[in-house]
Amino acid sequence: MKKAFATMGNLSEEESEDEKLENNRHIESKKRGTSQITRNNPSTYGLGSDSEEDEEEDIHGKVSLHHVKNNLSSYSKRELESLLYTLINAYQSADSRRELIMEDYASLREENENLEKQNHRLLSKITELNKNLDSMTKKNEELNKELHMSKAEVENSMRWTRSSILLDNIHKSQTSTKHGIGFDKNS
């Protein structure tokens, strides 16, 4: 938009009629050559262009809205039409960008809602798994206690069994060497 203002030039009251006519001719020739493009392409007036040259021209040829407002009465009908087309194109461009942003926003919101639902499901699943883990851990501790008690009982019973076997062997060995009344010869 700055370029469009810059192309119209600084039309002040001190400008001579020749300069005004020259500017009008320039705008008319530009309008004739680009009237179809201008209506459909906002970059004709420098809207949406990102080249370094365009940025430099914008810096050097700035025309503020305040300047346009103050000098509005000095613009010709064609210049005003050109400005109007520029503003319409700028509005259409901004509106189309806004629509694209709103579409992106809507899709991102939907995606966010889906992710929040999935996050909620996963959190509830994690909570359930943590409860299961806690109950399994308690059960495992109880089983470990029972295992230790069973091992201790088995060890005690094995001691008694071994002791019993040893005592039987000792008893047999002592009785086999003795002969006499009351002793069995076969054992």
With respect to residue 8, please indicate whether it lies within any of the assigned structural domains: yes
Higher confidence at residue 28 or residue 134? 134
Where does the pLDDT of residue 74 fall: very low under 50, low under 70, confident under 90, or very high at 90 and above?
Answer: confident
- Full domain range(s) for residue 87: 2-95
Rg (CA), the chain: 50
Average pLDDT, the chain: 76
**What's the whole-model pTM score?**
0.40
pLDDT at 38 over 60: no
What's the number of domains the chain is made of?
A: 1
With respect to residue 157, please indicate whether it lies within any of the assigned structural domains: no
pLDDT of res. 10: 44
Higher confidence at residue 48 or residue 53? 53
Rounded to an integer, the average pLDDT of 124-151 is 96
pLDDT at 151 over 90: yes
Tell me phi and psi for residue 41, to 5 degrees.
-125, 105
With respect to residue 41, please indicate whether it lies within any of the assigned structural domains: yes
- Residue 14 and residue 21 in contact, taking contact as beta carbons nearer than 8 Å: no
